[in-house]
């Protein structure tokens, strides 16, 4: 163990080290099932599923998938929004020793094809609203098993869909029929070791194709225990009977998977499932609950809610227990508003590669505005020189965050080169640059990579660049993140049309619709005769970003 001077700032009940249960990740929920079998584990637009019912549904789905031939080590694509079907299938897949592949429902066919080929998924669980993307995907990539659900099938009063109504292809399975057709509730007899892979979480890459961070059962157990203990001094004071979490973060993202779903199932909290964030609808959902124990979120969402015209009548100061913010820094004005309301909040840093966690401000203790806080239990952090990555920088100097922890991934799926580049002797080289102050608190100062963070989503501009280069009229293209009051950053494309060609913004927007998920598409386009380039012809993205920042200061 390295010296961990930051531990002097830990809240009074946060341990410096944790004894992690040597069990598969899906078994942690059994604590809640045994203690509160009749409590609602899920609340989906008013339809409740108890912990006992959820466990039975998970076991029936596990046996149904096993009956279809899903075996240990196979990759199963979960292509679903936040809904009961996600919770059921995620735990059913882990129960079989198979590996969940989280797939963003907003991905286009082209994006899904690359990920399906990379992971070799043998099973895909998807839903009615995206079948226009799935049919061509299944023509391009062989996926032996496809299971389709209608999201409203799990809301009372909406009726149940049929295979005919969903126009399922021959050989595809209907989720509800598969579940109802299996009465077997036996726990699958599969040996699962803590080091076995449980989840492949895609993160951006400099090559344009996302990298799949492989998270093990041990990673997920460590993350669940750590997030439970870090904020436990506030959340555990609400009795289990009343404990709840607002589940608006997408479960296909590791922040939602761990900090919302896994936390809730281990801490006997009812998950109030919200599959999409539509502000007015969301305020209506908030109005329907007297109290929310825990609300993990992102700054854009918190800002929109706190400043909504209906916010005062909802008594949010009394309603919200612990607020957690991640994915981007919280503006100082927003922190002041939350502090004035008397709401506890936590803000920190994590990555898909660190199971979403790593460094945070204490909940009760010293919290530094603009800082990401201090490393979590059992976690070592160094700041290494940015050029070589071999020397630790002096206090107060910027360096790359390098982290060793039970939270750190096993590696990237099917990508030994990237794994070797970022994992060295158990240390993960994160690409984020930070400084450490005299109190051993960390502050992010820059990003080594060119990542854009818009509305909590990580966007890698190279992927957008490559999509733009497919346009027959484009000679050169590059994208950068520009400041945006609501989303934090948004995407701007700089485009040089081919000689003799004319292009409009609208043409580019339309072209990107089939290539990129909505949040990745450029929101602004600037046409130029040329782009700044280095001596070897590399487009200088940093120069364009600096130009945009200079405009903002004028």
pLDDT for res 207: 46
Using an 8 Å Cβ cutoff, are 411 and 396 in contact? no
Q: What is the pLDDT of residues 85-111, one digit of tens each?
A: 999 999 999 999 999 999 999 888 998
End position of a domain, from candidates 175, 193, 211: 193
Gap between the Cα atoms of 235 and 294, Å rounded: 7
In a domain, 65, yes or no: yes
- Closest to 8 (Cα-Cα) out of 358, 366, 349: 366
pLDDT for res 448: 67
Gap between the Cα atoms of 480 and 233, Å rounded: 41
**Cα dihedral 329, 331, 336, 338 sign:** negative
Q: Count Cβ atoms below 10 Å from residue 405 Cβ, excluding itself.
A: 24
CA distances from 368 to 233, 336, 441 (A): 19, 12, 8
| Residue owning tokens 């927003």 | 334
Low-confidence stretches of the chain (pLDDT beneath 70): 1-2, 204-208, 328, 446-449, 534-538, 554
End position of a domain, from candidates 193, 218, 243: 193
Gap between the Cα atoms of 319 and 322, Å rounded: 10
Task: Tell me the H-state helices in 144-288.
Answer: 175-180, 217-230, 232-235, 254-255, 263-266, 279-287
End position of a domain, from candidates 165, 193, 221: 193
In a domain, 275, yes or no: no
In a domain, 432, yes or no: no
| Residue owning tokens 């004028």 | 554
Using an 8 Å Cβ cutoff, are 436 and 396 in contact? yes
DSSP secondary structure string, 146-163?
EEEE-GGGGSTTS----T
In a domain, 127, yes or no: yes
Three-state helix/strand/coil letters over 340-366: HHCCEEEEEEECHHHCCCEEECCCCCC
pLDDT for res 534: 55
- Closest to 372 (Cα-Cα) out of 436, 295, 448: 436
- Alpha carbon dihedral 295, 269, 263, 18, in 10-degree steps, equals 120
pLDDT for res 240: 95
Determine what percent of the chain is predicted with pLDDT higher than 90: 68
Using an 8 Å Cβ cutoff, are 363 and 234 in contact? yes
Gap between the Cα atoms of 443 and 330, Å rounded: 13
In a domain, 439, yes or no: no
Residue 279 CA neighbour count, 13 Å, CB half: 12
Using an 8 Å Cβ cutoff, are 254 and 215 in contact? yes
pLDDT for res 204: 57
In a domain, 158, yes or no: yes
In a domain, 524, yes or no: yes
For the entire predicted model, the pTM comes to 0.84
In a domain, 289, yes or no: no
Using an 8 Å Cβ cutoff, are 95 and 66 in contact? no
Considering its fold, how many domains does the chain have in total?
A: 2
- Closest to 263 (Cα-Cα) out of 251, 279, 275: 251
CATH number for the domain harbouring residue 112? 3.40.50.980
CB neighbours of 327 closer than 8 A, spacing ≥ 6?
255, 298, 299, 453, 456, 457, 458
Domain region containing 481: 452-553
Gap between the Cα atoms of 261 and 263, Å rounded: 5
């Amino acid at each position: 163990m390295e010296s961990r001077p930051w531990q002097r700032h830990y809240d009074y009940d946060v341990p410096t080290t944790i004894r992690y249960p040597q069990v598969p990740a899906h078994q942690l929920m059994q604590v809640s099932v045994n203690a509160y079998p009749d409590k609602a584990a899920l609340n989906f637009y008013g339809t409740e599923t108890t912990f006992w019912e959820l466990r039975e549904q998970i076991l029936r789905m596990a046996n149904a998938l096993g009956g279809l031939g899903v075996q240990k080590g196979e990759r199963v694509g979960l292509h679903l929004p936040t809904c009961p079907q996600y919770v059921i299938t995620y735990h059913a897949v882990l129960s079989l020793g198979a590996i969940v592949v989280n797939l963003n429902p907003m991905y286009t066919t082209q994006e899904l094809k690359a990920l399906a080929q990379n992971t070799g998924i043998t099973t895909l669980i998807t839903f009615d609203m995206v079948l226009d993307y799935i049919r061509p995907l299944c023509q391009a990539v062989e996926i032996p098993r496809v299971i389709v659900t209608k999201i409203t099938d799990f809301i009372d009063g909406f009726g149940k869909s049929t295979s005919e109504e969903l126009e399922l292809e021959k050989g595809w399975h209907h989720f509800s029929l598969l579940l109802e057709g299996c009465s077997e509730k036996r726990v699958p007899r599969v040996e699962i070791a803590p080091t076995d892979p449980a989840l492949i979480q895609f993160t951006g890459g400099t090559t344009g194709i996302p990298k799949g961070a492989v998270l093990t059962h041990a990673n997920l157990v460590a993350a669940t225990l750590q997030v439970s203990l870090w904020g436990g001094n506030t959340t555990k004071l609400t009795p289990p009977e009343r404990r709840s979490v607002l589940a608006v973060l997408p479960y296909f993202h590791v922040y939602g998977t761990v900090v919302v779903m896994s936390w809730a199932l281990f801490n006997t909290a009812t998950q109030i499932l919200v599959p999409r964030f539509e502000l007015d609808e969301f305020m209506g959902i908030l109005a329907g609950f007297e109290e929310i124990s825990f609300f993990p979120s992102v700054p854009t969402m918190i800002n929109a809610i706190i400043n909504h015209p209906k916010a005062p009548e909802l008594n949010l100061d009394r309603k919200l227990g612990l607020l957690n913010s991640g994915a981007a820094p919280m503006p100082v004005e927003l922190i002041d508003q939350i502090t004035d309301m008397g709401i506890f909040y936590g803000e920190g840093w994590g990555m898909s590669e660190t199971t979403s966690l790593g460094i945070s401000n204490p909940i009760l203790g010293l919290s530094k505005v603009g800082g990401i806080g201090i490393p979590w239990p059992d976690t070592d952090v160094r700041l290494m020189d940015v050029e070589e990555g071999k020397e630790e920088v002096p206090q107060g100097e910027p360096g790359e965050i390098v982290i060793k922890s039970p939270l750190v991934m096993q590696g990237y799926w099917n990508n030994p080169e990237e794994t070797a580049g970022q994992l060295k002797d158990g240390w993960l080289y994160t690409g984020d640059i930070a400084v450490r102050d005299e109190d051993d608190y960390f502050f992010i100062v820059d990003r080594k990579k060119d990542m854009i963070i818009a509305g909590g989503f990580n966007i890698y501009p190279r992927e957008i660049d490559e999509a733009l280069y497919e346009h027959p009229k484009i000679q050169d293209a590059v994208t950068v993140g520009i400041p945006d009051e609501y989303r934090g950053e948004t995407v701007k494309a700089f485009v040089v049309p081919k000689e003799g060609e004319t292009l409009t913004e609208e043409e580019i927007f339309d072209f990107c619709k089939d290539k990129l998920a909505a949040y990745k598409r450029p929101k602004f386009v600037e046409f130029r005769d040329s782009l700044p380039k280095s001596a070897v012809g590399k487009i200088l993205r940093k120069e364009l970003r600096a130009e945009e920042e200079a405009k903002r200061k004028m």
